[in-house]
Amino acid sequence: MVKTRKCKYQHCKEGGFVDVDEAVVDGGLHYHFQCYEKKHMKNKIFQAFCEYVTNEENGLFIKKKISDFIDKEDINPHYVYFTMYYIIKNKIPLKSIFGLAIVMKRQKVIDAYNELIDKYKDVKIQPENIDYVYKKEFKGGWRDLIG
Ligand SMILES: [Zn+2]
């Protein structure tokens, strides 16, 4: 018998239950790898957005919109995060979370992302090393602005 647990990711699309042997466990809670990665990336996107954009938007609203991109529109969380990097690196003015959605649709950004992924296609990018990949690509750009 395979032991399963309920996946604690609110927007789980993997059936809701995860094999204990395959689960990522955080604080005693079980997640599918994909779900945990989404949760992790959403936090990073949120933090990056809030560091870069100062506006009147409510934090919960921003989180909800980020969740919509990833959980409703099925946009790859790595792509959303990449777009934040792209915005910061190129100092693109960003006033709201809707601006992020607009930049994500730019062909130039899509091409830049595909180029990066292509370059690292043999490396299975894990949440813990994705920062490294971006830092290497965007030497200083991000860090200069974000601490
Ligand atoms: Zn899940």
Compute, in angstroms, the gap from residue 146 CA to the centroid of ligand 1: 31
Q: What is the DSSP string of 121-142?
A: TTS---HHHHHHHHHHHTTTHH
53 domain residue, yes or no: yes
Q: How far is the CA of 26 from the centre of ligand 1 (A)?
A: 13
Q: How far is the CA of 11 from the centre of ligand 1 (A)?
A: 7
Cα(54) to ligand 1 centroid in Å equals 32
19 assigned to some structural domain: no
**How many angstroms is it from 6 CA to the middle of ligand 1?**
8
Q: Which domain holds residue 114?
A: 37-145
| H-type alpha helices, 53-96 | 59-67, 77-89
Q: Facing residues of 5 across strands?
A: 18
Measured in Å, residue 47 CA sits from the centre of ligand 1 at: 23
Q: Residue 69's pLDDT is what?
A: 98
Q: How many domains does the chain have?
A: 1
Specify whether the CB–CB gap between 103 and 94 falls below 8 A: yes
What is the percent of the chain with per-residue pLDDT over 90, rounded to a whole number?
A: 64
Q: Would residue 72 count as lying in a domain?
A: yes
User: Contact 84/55 with Cβ under 8 angstroms?
Assistant: no
State the pLDDT confidence band at 128, using cuts at 50, 70 and 90.
low
Total Cβ atoms within 10 A of residue 119: 11
Residue 30 lies in a domain: no
Which pair of structure tokens corresponds to residue 52? 């870069």
Question: Who wins on pLDDT, 52 or 122?
Answer: 52
Is position 24 within any domain? no
Q: Summarize pLDDT for 100-116 with one digit per residue, the tens.
A: 999 999 999 999 988 88
CA of 76 to the centre of ligand 1 (A): 15
Q: What's the CA-to-centroid distance between 13 and ligand 1, angstroms?
A: 6
Classify residue 129: in a domain, yes or no. yes
Name residues whose C-beta falls within 8 Å of residue 133's C-beta, 6 or more positions apart in sequence. Answer: 116, 120, 123, 125
- Is the predicted pLDDT of residue 126 greater than 90, yes or no? no
Q: What is the mean pLDDT of residues 89-101?
A: 93
pLDDT tens figures, 35-57: 999 999 999 999 999 999 987 88
From 134, 131, 41, 47, select the one nearest 89 (Cα to Cα): 134
Examine residue 101 and state whether it is found in any structural domain, yes or no: yes
Domain presence at residue 2: no
Indicate the Cα dihedral angle 98, 103, 104, 107, nearest 10°. 150
Q: How far is the CA of 77 from the centre of ligand 1 (A)?
A: 15
- CA 12 to centroid of ligand 1, rounded, Å: 4
